[in-house]
Homo-oligomer: A and B are copies of this chain.
Amino acid sequence: MKKINLQEKFTLFSEYWTPKVIGELNGQQVKIAKVKGEFVWHDHATEDELFMVIKGQLKIKLEDKEIELTEGEVFIVPKGVQHKPIAEEECWILLFEPKQIKHTGEVKDAKTVDVSEWI
């Protein structure tokens, strides 16, 4: 029952591609992440995933197109859709997704974090 200030939360960590949980509701979690570089191709078989850009630019590669997001833009990747997030420069994103989701789907990669920590 406390408010969450996004800018403050982003000052609490610096590592890339490790989503931090900032809120939970209705079995879903709100997470934030700093990203830079290329993430792995993956999908989530049973979960849709929302990306919102808070700062910077994010590219989401899909099999047949590329979505370019800037601050204040949102994209929902439907379940089962292969995607690969890329950020040329550091980018801050907010994610909204089911609590049990794995951020690299079934792909195991050096970037895989099994359980996101709260921040």
Contacts and interface: CB of A to CB of B under 8 A. Distances in A.
A5 B50 CA distance: 13
Interface of A: 1, 3-7, 22-26, 28, 30, 47-50, 54, 62, 67-69, 72-76, 78, 81, 96-98
Contact of A28 (B22, B28, B75): B28
B26 A75 contact: no
A15 to B, nearest CB: 22
Copies in the complex: 2
Given A3-B69, A6-B72, A28-B96, 10 more contacts: A3-B67, A4-B76, A5-B72, A7-B72, A23-B50, A23-B76, A24-B76, A26-B28, A26-B98, A96-B96
Contacts of A97: 25-26
Nearest to A81: B1
Given A50-B30, A69-B3, A22 B74 contact: yes
